[in-house]
Amino acid sequence: MMAGMTETPHPLYDRHAETLDRALTAITERGYWSAYPESPSPRVYGETAAADGKAAFEAYLGGDFPLDQPGDGGTVATEISPFGLALDVRYPHATADQLVTAATAALPAWRDAGPQARVGVCLEILDRLHKNIFELANAVQFTSGQAFVMAFQAGGAHALDRALESIAYAYAEMTRHPGTAGWEKAAGKGDPLRMSKTFHVVPRGVALVIGCNTFPTWNSYPGLFASLATGNPVVVKPHPRAVLPLAITVKYARQVLAEAGFDPNLVQLAPEAADEKLASTLALHPAVKIVDFTGSTEYGDWLETNARQAAVYTEKAGLNTVVIDSTDDFAGLCRNLGFTLTLYSGQMCTTSQNLLIPRDGIETDQGHKSFDEVAAGIAGAVAKLTADPARGVELTGAIVNDGVLERLEEVTKVGEPVLESRTVAHPSFPDAVVRTPTVVKLDAADTTTYSREWFGPISFAIATDSTAHSLEILRSTVGEKGALTAGVYSTDEAVLDAAEAAAIDAGVHLSCNLTGGVFVNQSAAFSDFHGSGANPAANSALTDGAYVANRFRIVQSRRHV
């Protein structure tokens, strides 16, 4: 039954009602708010929290992951750490039918519990994960290649914020209408027609979350919790190289569900053996009605085309673009973009790839800067951030997979390098695979090169005929191939307006004149939308009403009174 005066409050809902209320306010105000502190400081989390979390993470290594769920009796171990750490964690394996059967059996009681009970349980899961955030952060670090602070923030605190955001949207959509209503219509001289109506939130069915290697929690949590809160059991299929963060998530989710009196099979882990293609098998299963995916354009397109029985939410690849017209803070521009290109070695779906600069240069607070000087300024900022290996690796992290290395080799055959990528010896992890970013000069005519995504620490300084030409390229390339972020630098309001118009046409989020501590490749939960669903890079946004509302249906019951 829908929430309202007719629904009995659940103890876990009452426990977390204040957090939910604040989140509901935040998604309407769109200002800054965060429920989970992003600093791993002992003053915030306690003196022993970091050591306890690391010990919990290390206890998993080389052993069988403690997860009691339906399976075929086998195990799989597929993770290879970018830092060279031996993981060797063995996870219980199950077939698609086993997972779907268990999930389907768990659905009715979860559906009938109502929105408040479901949301209360979901908020308790977030609370449990937050209490174990250091354990989670270590798992994210050593599977994704992120440096620890980034893993703690993006993989821990920010991921929890995004989860809470999706729960808030889910609750708002489920409770948009009353749970019951009285209906009366005059009927001439006779008694009026009277009906009692009840409106039920009915989940679509089994949900599938397909995780990615780079951000296993941040990208998976919104779909996981949006589906779970709206009544759908969730099968979590992690990337083979980043299983542990989602295994930990499933472990604590199942604990909370069982403690609350629900079937823990509402959340199950689906690790796959090499070449098993379990994600595709699950995605096409008739009982799977929701699919969330982050990853390659090719596979995302395949899901959208073939998983026709399901509502499919995808975040794919794109050509993130920055238009540089002019600036009143050239040093700040270079520092800001330098950090953007360096962070996590550019292995973010939001990192800028194409830097569009007029070939005749730009006007700045330091005077006119030629195209070469602008490119060199940005490259110089990257070089400065990565010059000291001990400090640089805390920004770059490690390279997530061989595909990135292959693209780094391939890009040496195109354009003219402004800054070449270097191999760096990690001072703490000698087997870590670390590469610094490269910046390559291209001409606007080199469309074959820059109109494809080069995921990783690869960016292009592209010489255009003018700022108007740059905006034309942004509009056409993003419109055709998609992007999650766009940026513009200009001291001219007319140019800023034109850039905003181009971004609206292309359906991409725009950031203007970032020279300080806000970066184009970072987004804040409750305020920034991640992805728009308005260009080919993603068919949905994290998070808005459309992201959650199609995960359930309203079924009404009418009785004559």
Q: What is the pLDDT of residues 300-341, one digit of tens each?
A: 999 999 999 999 999 998 999 999 999 999 999 999 999 999
Q: Which residues of 61-77 are buried (b: 16+ CB within 10 A; e: fewer)?
A: eeeebebebbbeeeebb
Identify residue 296 by its one-letter amino acid code.
S
pLDDT digits (tens, 9 = 90+) for 353-371: 999 999 999 999 999 999 9
What is the per-residue pLDDT across 474-523, written as a single tens digit (0 to 9) for each? Answer: 999 999 999 999 999 999 999 999 999 999 999 999 999 999 999 999 99
Contact between 508 and 485 (Cβ < 8 Å): yes
3-state helix, strand, coil in the chain (%, to 5): 45, 20, 40
In this prediction, residue 5 carries a pLDDT of 37
Residue 81 CA: distances (Å) to CA of 139, 401, 444, 452, 524: 10, 9, 38, 28, 28
Question: CA-to-CA distance for 510 and 492, rounded, in angstroms?
Answer: 16
- Mean pLDDT for all residues in the chain: 96
Model confidence at 253, pLDDT cuts 50, 70, 90, reads very high
321-512: CATH topology:
Aldehyde Dehydrogenase; Chain A, domain 2 (3.40.309)
| Interatomic CA distance for residues 548 and 167, integer angstroms | 9
pLDDT > 90 in the chain, percent: 97
Calpha distance 74→90 (Å, rounded): 9
Q: Is residue 441 within 8 Å of residue 460, measured between CB atoms? A: yes
pLDDT at position 9 is 76
- Per-residue pLDDT averaged across 87-108, rounded? 98
pLDDT at 285: 98
Overall average pLDDT of the 219-228 stretch? 98
Q: What is the pLDDT of residue 1?
A: 35
Which DSSP letter does residue 265 get? G
The pLDDT of residue 8 is above 80:
no
119-137 pLDDT tens trace = 999 999 999 999 999 999 9
Class of the 11-316+540-560 domain?
alpha beta
- Quick check: 324 and 513 in contact, CB under 8 A? no
How large is the average pLDDT for residues 146-158?
Answer: 97
Distance set, CA 275 to CA 76, 86, 271, 279, 280 (Å): 12, 21, 12, 11, 11
**Maximum CA extent, the chain:** 90
Instruction: Confirm if 287 and 99 have CB atoms less than 8 A apart.
Output: no
Residue for token digits 């995004």?
162
Question: Could you state, in order of their start, the residue ranges of all structural domains in the chain?
Answer: 11-316+540-560, 321-512
Both tokens assigned to 203: 């989940």
| Banded model confidence at residue 7, pLDDT cuts 50, 70, 90 | low
When pLDDT is averaged across residues 243-260 and rounded to a whole number, the result is 98
Residue 525: predicted pLDDT: 96
